Amino acid sequence: MNYIEQLNHFYDLLQCNYISNNAQLLYHTLLMINNKCSWIEWFQRTNISLCGLLGISENTLKKARNELKQYNLIDFQQATKKGQITKYKIIKVSKCKVENDTNTDTNADTNPDTNTDTNTDDIDKQKPKQKLNKENKKESRKETYENIVDYLNEKAGTNYKSTTKGTQEKINARLNEGFNLDDFKVVINKKCDTWLKDAKMCKYLRPETLFGNKFESYLNEVTKGSNNNDIPDWVSDWANGKE
């Protein structure tokens, strides 16, 4: 198996198809693992190990690998019994397929009639593809909601749902402003550190507060101990005029 051919095929696929970020990350990770396994046909990995590498939940992992299988990039045999490990297989890009794709492109360039037919076919196919891309983007946002809310529940010990309309609206507003998943995790970490053990403030560890209009302020907030870690508290108090 040729690593570069696999990647080039994958990037070509991305040019005309929407593949979620989690699925892209999973594919690169599986390629890396298979490469280290000397490109054996089937290799094994537990869900826990892959989730740890990717920083995603098990449900997100399952959705990502199903997405890759739909695009015929991988195959897998899911564990059915306790103690079993999921097996994965990278679908090899055949040389004949690469050559056929190249020949098709060449013929299209040299034959005006072929170009006309192809363009007509492309127009006919645009609507289904656009609909598929919208569905994939919607599914990607759904995964983002789950990742963020699952992380909040894990850190704060809460049980919020990612399907709540108000929560999704708050997250969408921040995503549209250019913030990403890592930014949400930083805010959650910071506010859990400062509010979780505070009887009055712990109730505000909720989506409507954390992901609201003060999100950017929380993100850039300097938490205690983040700077001047080597300076004792009494020195800081003295510098601020406290006794």
pLDDT at 124 over 60: no
Determine how many CB atoms are found less than 10 A away from the CB of residue 39: 15
Rounded to an integer, the average pLDDT of 100-127 is 50
Nearest residue to 183 (alpha-carbon basis) of 142, 156, 144: 144
pLDDT for res 99? 42
Q: What is the pLDDT of residues 9-62, one digit of tens each?
A: 899 888 888 899 999 999 999 999 999 988 999 999 998 899 998 999 989 999
Percent of the chain with pLDDT over 90: 51
- The residue that leads in pLDDT, 198 or 130, is 198
pLDDT for res 185? 95
pLDDT for res 128? 57
Q: What is the pLDDT of residues 172-219, one digit of tens each?
A: 999 989 999 999 999 999 999 999 999 999 999 999 999 999 999 999
pTM above 0.75, yes or no: no
Distance CA 13, CA 29 (A): 17
Distance CA 64, CA 141 (A): 13
What is the pLDDT confidence band of residue 238, given thresholds at 50, 70 and 90? low
- The residue that leads in pLDDT, 112 or 82, is 82
pLDDT for res 16? 87
Structural contact between residues 64 and 10, judged by C-beta atoms closer than 8 angstroms: no
Q: Where are the domains of the chain?
A: 3-96, 139-219
pLDDT at 142 over 80: yes
Distance CA 29, CA 7 (A): 12
- The residue that leads in pLDDT, 77 or 123, is 77
CATH topology of domain 3-96: Arc Repressor Mutant, subunit A (1.10.10)
CA-to-CA dists, residue 119 to 97, 109, 114, angstroms: 22, 12, 8
pLDDT for res 104? 47
Average pLDDT, the chain: 81
Distance CA 27, CA 9 (A): 12
pLDDT at 81 over 80: no
pLDDT for res 131? 56
The stretches of the chain forming alpha helices (DSSP H) are 3-16, 21-36, 47-54, 58-70, 95-110, 112-156, 165-176, 181-195, 207-210, 215-219, 233-239
Contacts of residue 27, defined as CB under 8 A and 6 or more positions apart, other chains included, come to 10, 19, 68, 73, 74
pLDDT for res 110? 47
What is the pLDDT confidence band of residue 127, given thresholds at 50, 70 and 90? low
